[in-house]
Chain A
Amino acid sequence: MSARAGILAALKANRPAGDYPLPSVPDFAPLVGDDLVEEFGERLKRMGGRIADGRSGEPLEGVRERLAEAKVIASAVPEIAGNRDLRAVRYPQEVEDVDVAVVRAVFGIAETGSVLFTQDELIVNAVAYLAQHLIVLLDPADILPNVQAAYKRPEFGRSAYAVLHTGPSATADIEGVLIHGAQGVRSLTVLLMPR
């Protein structure tokens, strides 16, 4: 008997007695207030991320310094120009020297301060981890109230890769000392900017 057949047979034979219907999950009231932009920013900051508002005045003011310090910028958005063409990348290893990557989020989640990307926004998935810093453009109109609402979105069912980022890469594996940039990006800045 193949392992597959053996496992399935054992699961059938060992099924516990009793009726265990699948419960329906009610829609819970969001933990956040009505101002989703403010709630999103507040929670993002608590998760180690930074927030910049590009809706008024000079739009790139909040990330100017970060961009100015970067030698290699890989941009997947038309709003910010880079000097590394992600569409020309053949192997993910090629983006290991990227200082700043710029990507647009599909949506944000106010409950957690998270942003979602799929392979379409990232172009090269690995750039969101191999880059030293990440700048994320987010349309304030794309902020969802909670995690539950996020998991009703179609992207999870159709994307080869979908990922929620909540702040930068972090670790506290040594005596609980919080350190950003464990393996992935050292900082994550969300720049509020309508599409």
Chain B
Amino acid sequence: MSVEDLNPRAREGVIHPEVRAADDESERGQDGGRLQHAEAATKPIRAPQTREKQPRGAKIRGDRPIDQAEAAERFLAAPLHQAAHDERLWDLRKKRDTSAHGIPEWEELRELASAIKAHTLTHLDQYLEQFEAAAKANGVQVHWAADGADHNRIVLEILRSRGAKTLVKSKSMLTEECGFRHHMAANGIEIIETDLGERIQQLDNEEPSHIVAPAVHKTRMDVAEVFAKTLGTDPDNDDAHYLAESQRETTRPYILKADAGMTGCNFAIAETGTVVTCTNEGNADLSGNVPPLQIHSIGIEKIIPKVEHLGVFIRLLSRSALGSPITQYTSHFRGPRKGTEMHMVLVDNGRSARLGLEEFWTSLKCIRCGACMNTCPVYRRSGGLSYGATYSGPIGLIIDPTFNKRKYSTLPFSSTMNGSCTNVCPVKINIHEQIFAWRKVLVEEHHIPALKQGMMKAAGAVLSRPAAYRAAIGAADSALKVLPRFAVYNPLNTWGKKREMPDAPRQTFHAWYKQNRMQKPAKDAAPKDAAR
């Protein structure tokens, strides 16, 4: 029989009972059972039918440091959105656990994935040259872009020289990094996002808030409002099936008439020159297979040496992201269709420089599954847009400062340092350690406001001396008992908001250990202990 448990006991616990919907609209399977594949929720989650204005993301003011805490506060002030968001992402995290626990070799797969990535990244120049040679031999035109502007210029040139005016594309974090959509719009090229979540965000003029589920911060009512304004749907109809079907019907004409199609890249295979995309909607395959001109944008860190290595990464990716064993579509683009053109753009945009950062280069191993976001208590309570950056959540905290140290200087402080991100990462990036390392770098280089520096110094001094740490912990526990609420839930302690502090234990572990284990037990107690 199967090693994998196909019927894990349904985990019925919910964090926010108010968003547990009474009825269920998700698809049923052939046997009538409720289906949970793709990014589906394991149980119906719905914000109550009370209209609540969607909280918007961080305020962007040029290079000035993002105030994530301010944006998070506004997200917290929208309790329906916050609860639905929290519940939905925690559900994805639980689906991931079930899926991971079903595979005996899960930890070995993570080790292998991490080691394959480390090897490839430390030999990336060779593998890129191998990839280029293979792709050229397949009849693909290969381009190199030093940065985002270079990428946009190259693509624009390809489009213009062929008279292309419209481009349909699938979701790609790389093109978000490059500001591709905005640049093309400014140059008279019409870009249509074909992933439902990404299309919602495009129509609402918002960035994606999550790398896997771009519109996860929106309720169905928000989507109904966006579609009513932009697609002319019935503003009073917020049925998810109706909304999704409206997007399908209005997007298809664009797909059919598009001059060009574009995809991102999950994995690029050096030995064969193949671009691999993983999607649930099939929109990357439409973008790549319908228009006469296809372009694949590839971050250079996406290279893996051989096809057989997909046997490791594909098994990890969707299980980590959504808890499903594989995405609905795993597509391998290697050469152009007859009579059409295929281009691949290899984009650096800061990656080669990141490789030289001793403490941070392993962040290039990231396969963009989003597991660290789903598990992060800060992310789930503040929403991806509060980070004001292309990458949000724990992985964002360690990547964003490499793009702009000043603008993203405060982000590494948006973490409780619980380490959960590191534990779920399928390529074993030590995310929480890098968050801490970034704090040190940013303080040393004076990117950090004095207030946070003070907290850092105190924390550093305490953490470096075990005795002082123990005294502080002891004091913290007793302080929780006696301090008035305003002292615990004050503005300096951002993450105390919306979180009740646990009751302080009567005794710390250290105090207990000292009392019970470091002293010789009383003589008459000894036999009892031994008998246990």
Question: Taking beta carbons and an 8 Å cutoff, which residues of A are in contact with B?
Answer: 2-4, 6-8, 10-16, 18, 20-23, 25-26, 28-33, 39, 42-43, 45-51, 92-93, 96, 111-112, 114, 119, 125-126, 128-130, 147-148, 150-152, 156-157, 159-185
Contact = CB atoms under 8 A, between A and B. Distances in A.
Contact of B41 (A31, A43, A148, A176): A176
Contacts of A161: 288-289, 331-335, 337
Contacts of B495: none
A166 B325 CA distance: 10
Given A18-B122, A160-B138, A161-B331, 19 more contacts: A4-B144, A15-B123, A22-B116, A22-B305, A25-B308, A42-B6, A151-B308, A152-B308, A162-B332, A163-B331, A166-B327, A170-B40, A172-B26, A175-B46, A175-B219, A178-B27, A178-B41, A182-B283, A183-B255
Nearest to A179: B244
A171 B328 CA distance: 10
Contact of A175 (B6, B88, B274): B88
Nearest to A94: B256
A30 B4 CA distance: 10
B107 interface: no
B3 A29 contact: yes
A129 B285 contact: yes
Nearest to B105: A28
B147 to A, nearest CB: 9
A177 B40 contact: yes
B290 A126 contact: yes
Contacts of B324: 47
A167 B25 CA distance: 19
Interface stretch (B355-363, B373-381, B402-410): B355-363
Interface in B464-507: none
A168 B328 contact: yes
Q: How large is the interface on B (under 10, 10 to 19, 20 to 34, 35 or more residues)?
A: 35 or more
Contacts of A152: 308, 311
A7 B307 contact: no
B355 A47 contact: no
B285 A178 contact: no
A171 B280 contact: yes
Contacts of B290: 92-93, 126, 129-130
B437 interface: no
A157 B305 CA distance: 13
Interface in B60-111: 84, 88, 91, 102-105, 108
B281 A169 contact: yes
23 contacts: A8-B125, A16-B361, A18-B122, A20-B123, A23-B112, A43-B6, A46-B35, A93-B290, A156-B332, A157-B307, A159-B334, A161-B331, A161-B332, A171-B197, A171-B280, A173-B39, A173-B197, A173-B244, A175-B88, A179-B26, A182-B282, A183-B196, A183-B281
